[in-house]
Structure 1
Amino acid sequence: MTLAQHSNLDKLVSLAILRFFTGHRNWKDFHQHVQTYHRKDFPRLPAYQNFIYAMNSLSVVALLLLHGFMTFFKSITRNEDPKFADSSKLAACNIKREFSNKVAQYIAKKSKSTMGWFYGFKLHIICNELMQILNFRITSGNVDDRKGLAMIWNDIFGMIIADAGYLGKNWHKKALDLGKQLLTGVKANMKKIMTKTQHQLL
């Protein structure tokens, strides 16, 4: 089946955007909502199974659109502008159900964040001071923050600000060798002083 068999591409994109404004947390409830309140707006709304297939098909369009935005944001972000790096957990299920989860059993991993243990994935992201995404990567949950950052900073230079999770032996020197200045927070058991390099940058 193709997108054309379900509905027009613009209608599908409109539905995907509409879901964020309705506050529905899953596609099933949203599909029922559209059937009940927006049938006149979407008279050719597919049955639920075909609707899910069509929405999943939009992922390619979404990725292309996101890539275009990131390319543009990189082009307008100067090397001297500060960038911000961070990671966030993407739980596949409640940690208590990690052994019974089947959807992502081969790629999701158990890990621990500042909020406790979780089972799933991790989002690594770099943005500029306007919170515009410059690059991102989704990995298994047990991938170290520093390794995730190294996957997405190749074509990003200048100052990168991150939390204490990005501290590591010789990590700041490695960043400098690659044309980046990594400024991180400090852990509770460390002296809260800035390095000579950080003073020079500020």
Structure 2
Amino acid sequence: MISNDKVTEIFFDIDEFCKVFEPAFTQKLLEDGKKHRKRAFKMSMSEILTITVIFQLSGHRTFKHFYLFYIQKHMKSEFPDTVSYNRFTELMQANMVPLVLFMKTRCLGKSTGISFIDSTPLRVCKNKRIKVNKVFEGIATTGRSTMGWFHGFKLHLIVNDKGEILNFVLTQGNVDDRDPLKEGNILNEIFGKLYADKGYISKNLASMLFEDGLHLITGIRNNMKNVLMTMRDKILLRKRSVIETINDQLKNICHAEHSRHRSFGNFITNLVASLIAYSFQEKKPAIKFEEDIKSKGQLALFC
């Protein structure tokens, strides 16, 4: 169960963001020339976003049980003016924009020159129910990963050696892993070397990224010729499992993946909240790499 100190920490960061966001957002709203009633909400934006995020770290599997039996019963002092469950689910989706902006502006790490990229499937239903799934009809697609076929989306992540998320993008399940890199938006402010698995092998992609100052390093397939690389790169390529650990924590600790969504908006809210929740973890998967290794600068045969 999440501690009160952690709840306070998350609320403080979100509240500081909302103090800047709310006035700026209200000022930018378009007016239609009609008078509208400006009704004050019972719960503040900070409270709504905080509850949305701490659910991902609470250990509860369903948000309804978490809200009704934990927030409203055991956290009355922290959230005294809660609304009904149905109303809160409406407020969650209504506050999707500030949730995404908070993730993008306050929760992303900085590039250190050592980055890892990988994609992970986000299943929206079991395979036997693909044909009868109505919630994501026309949105989710069927794709294939190393674990087999799935129906849903792909989450593409870039992380640094400290385990911090640098950027992310969501695509349909049948999108090639290399496509987000070709578009380039996910690589903003990323520099140095980018380590990836064999699914990112592409001579044209590597050349394009190299021209932009980013060195893409991948493994090789069985039918490819051996290549030379520095021992440093070979060691770091083996450390690529750090991003797989992060993907596992996002799914099993922060609940980024489940099959109980009732709308696409609910899916996006849950995903972004899980990424924010991960950023508040005290201990993140990281790698320990000594710069002054004895073999630094030497070449190794990669096979």
| TM-score (norm: length of structure 1) | 0.82
Match in the other structure for 2:99: 62
1:47 counterpart = 2:79: no
Q: 2:197 aligns with which of 153, 157, 163?
A: 163
Amino acid at match of 1:89: P
**CA distance in structure 1 between the aligned counterparts of 2:204 and 2:52, rounded to whole angstroms:** 45
**CA distance in structure 1 between the aligned counterparts of 2:38 and 2:154, rounded to whole angstroms:** 31
| SS in structure 1 of the partner of residue 117 of structure 2 | strand
More strand by share: 1
Match in the other structure for 1:173: 207
Structure 1 position 41, deviation (Å): 4.0
Pair 1:150–1:132, CA change in 2 (3 A): farther
Greater relative contact order (Cα < 8 A, sep 6+): 2
% same residue: 36
Pair 1:131–1:46, CA change in 2 (3 A): same
Pair 1:150–1:133, CA change in 2 (3 A): farther
Pair 1:108–1:7, CA change in 2 (3 A): same
Is contact 1:85-1:149 (8 Å) kept?
no
1:103 counterpart = 2:135: yes
Is contact 2:182-2:205 (8 Å) kept?
no
Match in the other structure for 1:14: 50
**CA distance in structure 2 between the aligned counterparts of 1:3 and 1:121, rounded to whole angstroms:** 37
Amino acid at match of 2:51: L
| SS in structure 2 of the partner of residue 137 of structure 1 | strand
1:94 counterpart = 2:131: no
Structure 1 position 153, deviation (Å): 2.0
| SS in structure 1 of the partner of residue 120 of structure 2 | strand
1:134 counterpart = 2:166: yes
| SS in structure 2 of the partner of residue 142 of structure 1 | coil
**CA distance in structure 1 between the aligned counterparts of 2:107 and 2:44, rounded to whole angstroms:** 26
Pair 1:145–1:32, CA change in 2 (3 A): same
| SS in structure 2 of the partner of residue 106 of structure 1 | coil
5+ long unaligned stretches in structure 2: 1-36, 235-296
CA RMSD of aligned residues (A): 2.8
1:114 counterpart = 2:146: yes
Structure 1 position 179, deviation (Å): 2.0
Moved more, 10-19 or 143-152: 10-19
Structure 1 position 169, deviation (Å): 4.2
Match in the other structure for 2:63: 27
Matched residues, number: 196
**CA distance in structure 2 between the aligned counterparts of 1:6 and 1:96, rounded to whole angstroms:** 43
**CA distance in structure 2 between the aligned counterparts of 1:125 and 1:40, rounded to whole angstroms:** 37
| SS in structure 2 of the partner of residue 100 of structure 1 | coil
Amino acid at match of 2:126: N
1:153 counterpart = 2:190: no
Is contact 1:164-1:185 (8 Å) kept?
yes
**CA distance in structure 1 between the aligned counterparts of 2:93 and 2:165, rounded to whole angstroms:** 23
| SS in structure 1 of the partner of residue 106 of structure 2 | helix
Structure 1 position 131, deviation (Å): 2.0
**CA distance in structure 2 between the aligned counterparts of 1:29 and 1:131, rounded to whole angstroms:** 31
Pair 1:115–1:8, CA change in 2 (3 A): same
Moved more, 139-148 or 177-186: 177-186
**CA distance in structure 2 between the aligned counterparts of 1:83 and 1:31, rounded to whole angstroms:** 37
Moved more, 91-100 or 56-65: 56-65
Deviations 1:3-58 (A, max 9, x none): 94241223223322332342122221112222333345433211111010112233
Amino acid at match of 1:87: S
